[in-house]
Amino acid sequence: MMTKALTLYELNQMVHETITISMPDEYWVEAEISDIREVRGHCYMELIQKDEYGNTPLARASAKCWKNKWMYISPHFERITGHILRAGMKILVQVYADFHETYGFSWIITDIDPTFTMGDMARKRQDIIRRLQEAGVLELQKELSLPLFTQRIAVISSEQAAGYGDFCNQLAENDYGFQFKLSLFRSIMQGEQIESSIISALNEINRQIDHFDVVVIIRGGGSTSDLSGFDSLLLAENVANFPLPVITGIGHDRDESVLDLVSHIRVKTPTAVATLLIDHLIEVYNRISDAQEELIQMVQRRIEIEKMRLNIISEKVPVLFSFMSNRQNAWFDNLFLRIQNAITNRIRQTEQHLNSLSEMLSPLYEHIRIRENHRLEILQQKIKAQDPMLILNRGYSITTLNGHVIRNAKNLKKGDILCTQMAKGKVTSIVKET
């Protein structure tokens, strides 16, 4: 015999009655928020429990907080903890079971204990600090020092943040006229993307590290509830190991994030960072001014000492000069006598040498003169024997053509005018034929 089937609504109604009867109470439950959103004033959460030694989900559930409760729970939680409820946060939540025939099962939130979350966040924060200490990086940034002239600044901030504008204005309008070169590396400064965004900016700065003296991470205009993103182990490790000093101005007086702990210097606001940088240059300027004044005083003292020494020396100079003058004069007189004697001896030796040469040259000169005269006589006789007039007087003649002596008749042609020179007179003739 077939059993009559239930409708889905009837089945859900049975579940509703069962849950209402068997689970009439409210329960405090520890869980982690995996997703949270507000819709028309109501809050919808996805709760999760993970394996204690890993991230494997062990349980999941949906939870709702109606508007009339949420409008009180949320501000109270933020006021006590200083943080807004967000994904990844552990909470102690009071719920009761609700099953609706149409919308199914859900836990209905009636209260959230902020002290539990504060304790959990504090435990996480202490765990991060402990791990940084064990890795030996918590104080690394403190070992760095600001360069004397810290003026090239890499700024990690949101461009629209009011704090960034205040920071830029304060540096630009400083009373000393110091010049700063700012380079903005845009980053998300609130929400879940703080960690990855700032690390990305640090990596970009590191690629241009020679262009900067310091890194500042500033945030202004947000609420203290947005500071939880700066309690990150990975972000803290990146800042702690960064090779340039990192200055933070991201919180308020009573808030100190893990990022603040590992930074080189932590101040409360972006304007305080600007003041710190200006004060650093003022200190350097004062040190230079003090060193300049000290140097001037040292030079003046040295000049006074040297003046005293010169006065003492000047009193000794006349005596020393007189002694040196007499000594030099005696040396010059002795040198003059030595030079004079040397010149006299040299002249005497030269005269003797010249006399000896003169005695030797006189006979030699006479011998050469006689020999050369004899040669001249012989040459005169040879020249005289070659005189053309002697040849002409013996009956010979000389015939020339245009001043050139004719030795061969074959060189003549008809019509040539010849000149024949004889001992007495000349004859001109014309060649008729050859």
Q: Render 62-125 in DSSP notation, one character per residue.
A: EEEE-HHHHHHHHHHHHHHHSS---TT-EEEEEEEEEEETTTEEEEEEEEEEHHHHHHHHHHHH
Find the angle CA(225)-CA(228)-CA(232) to the nearest 5 degrees: 170
The third-level CATH classification (topology) of the domain covering 136-284 is: Rossmann fold (3.40.50)
Distances from the Cα of 38 to the Cαs of 34, 45, 246, 417, in angstroms?
A: 14, 9, 37, 147
The third-level CATH classification (topology) of the domain covering 8-116 is: OB fold (Dihydrolipoamide Acetyltransferase, E2P) (2.40.50)
Q: Could you give the residue range(s) of every CATH 3.40.50.2300 domain in the chain?
A: 136-284
- Which residues, in sequence order, are bridge partners of residue 153? 182, 214
| pLDDT (0 to 100) of residue 178 | 92
In contact, 249 and 219? CB cutoff 8 Å: yes
Q: In terms of DSSP H, where are the helices of 241-269?
A: 258-262
| pLDDT (0 to 100) of residue 335 | 87
| pLDDT (0 to 100) of residue 416 | 85
| pLDDT (0 to 100) of residue 1 | 55
| pLDDT (0 to 100) of residue 154 | 95
In contact, 99 and 19? CB cutoff 8 Å: yes
Give the list of residues 6+ apart from residue 265 with CB closer than 8 angstroms, or none: 245, 247, 248, 276
* Look-up of token digits 């040879």: 382
Closest by alpha carbon to 242, among 198, 276, 186?
198
Per-residue pLDDT of the chain (434 residues; tens, 9 = 90+): 567 788 888 888 888 888 888 888 899 998 988 889 999 999 999 999 887 766 678 888 999 999 999 999 999 988 887 778 888 788 899 999 988 888 888 899 999 988 887 777 777 778 888 888 888 888 999 999 999 999 999 999 988 877 898 999 999 999 989 999 999 999 988 777 888 999 999 999 999 999 999 999 998 755 554 566 788 889 989 999 999 999 999 865 555 788 888 999 999 889 999 999 999 999 999 999 888 888 998 998 888 888 888 888 877 777 777 777 788 888 888 888 888 888 888 888 888 888 787 777 777 777 888 888 888 888 888 887 777 777 777 777 888 888 888 888 888 888 888 888 887 888 888 888 77
Closest by alpha carbon to 280, among 166, 180, 163?
180
Distances from the Cα of 23 to the Cαs of 46, 95, 98, 270, in angstroms?
A: 21, 11, 9, 53
Calculate the CA dihedral of residues 281, 287, 293, 295 and round it to 10 degrees. Answer: -120
- Total residue length of the chain: 434
* Look-up of token digits 């006074």: 304
Q: Could you give the residue range(s) of every CATH 2.40.50.140 domain in the chain?
A: 8-116
- Give the phi and the psi of residue 290 in degrees, each rounded to 5: -65, -40
| pLDDT (0 to 100) of residue 163 | 85
- At residue 282, what is the residue type? I
With 0.95 as the threshold, say if the pTM is over it.
no
Q: What is the Cα–Cα distance from 194 to 350, expressed in whole angstroms?
A: 108
Closest by alpha carbon to 70, among 27, 105, 112?
112
Q: What is the Cα–Cα distance from 126 to 118, expressed in whole angstroms?
A: 12
- At residue 145, what is the residue type? S
| pLDDT (0 to 100) of residue 418 | 85
| pLDDT (0 to 100) of residue 96 | 92
